[in-house]
Amino acid sequence: MDEMRTVKRDLRQKLLQRQAALTPEYKREASARIFAHLLEMEDFQNARRVFLYVGTAQEVDTRPMLEAMLRMGKMVFVPKTITLGHMEACAVGDLSELIPGRHGILEPADAKRAVSPDSLDLILVPCLGFNQRGYRLGYGGGFYDRYLPRVKGKCILLAFEQMREEDLPVEDFDVPCEGILTEEGYRSAEV
């Protein structure tokens, strides 16, 4: 148990360093390619209700995706953190409604427009590191670990290819995502 904590902490440290070294050019180019691949995906085209995080400068830039989805008339939901480890998916009508929360992540001011996790068609999941089996390491809040068991829709990891890390520690509560979308394209998680 304590050993797992140490392993995760060290790995998170290593991945945070790797993430910090990604150049703005790489992130910009890769984010644009991820967006283009997303638009081609049937799961995306068919999804009416999409849960997508608001990416920070270190992460895949999801802002163009959120804006495009709103223009396309999809129902768009973003995370609202409630307490450490607990978040809800809240409807958003315009990105200007969002305000900076912890770590500067943009989120709705309150959880009034929270919806049931099982009503979501597509969940696009952030990660610090990922592997080919669809497992992820996040920033250590356990938010998605607790949220994913509540969803019924398709869960896809959004990630930069450079953040792939095969040797991730997996715990009982970890729910693997069905697929991974990077700048190289979409792949189903290996079973």
x-marked contacts with ligand ATP along 106-145 as a string, rule CB under 6 A: -------------------------------xxxxxxxxx
The pair of structure tokens assigned to 120 is 């979501």
19 binds, among ligand FFO, ligand ATP, none (CB under 5 to 8 A by kind): none
2 contact partners, CB below 8 Å, separation of at least 6: none
List, as own/partner pairs, every contact residues 62-71 make where C-beta atoms lie below 8 angstroms and the sequence separation is at least 24, other chains included: 62/31, 62/124, 62/158, 63/95, 64/31, 64/32, 64/35, 65/35, 65/38, 65/124, 66/92, 66/95, 67/95, 68/35, 68/39, 70/94, 70/95
Smallest gap from Cβ 25 to ligand ATP, in A, equals: 26
Q: Which phi and psi angles does 166 have, rounded to 5°?
A: -65, -35
35 binds, among ligand FFO, ligand ATP, none (CB under 5 to 8 A by kind): none
153 binds, among ligand ATP, ligand FFO, none (CB under 5 to 8 A by kind): none
> How far from the centroid of its chain's Cα atoms is residue 166's Cα?
18
59 binds, among ligand FFO, ligand ATP, none (CB under 5 to 8 A by kind): ligand FFO
Q: Is 59 annotated as a binding residue?
A: yes
Pairing of strands 185-188, 179-182: antiparallel
x-marked contacts with ligand ATP along 65-104 as a string, rule CB under 6 A: --------------------x-------------------
Residues between 133 and 162 that touch ligand FFO (CB under 6 A): 138-141, 143-144
Smallest gap from Cβ 63 to ligand ATP, in A, equals: 19
Residue 99's DSSP bridge partners are 107
Sites of contact with ligand FFO (CB under 6 A): 53-56, 59, 79, 81, 84, 87, 102-103, 105, 126, 138-141, 143-144
Which positions lie near ligand ATP, rule CB under 6 A?
A: 8, 85, 137-146, 173
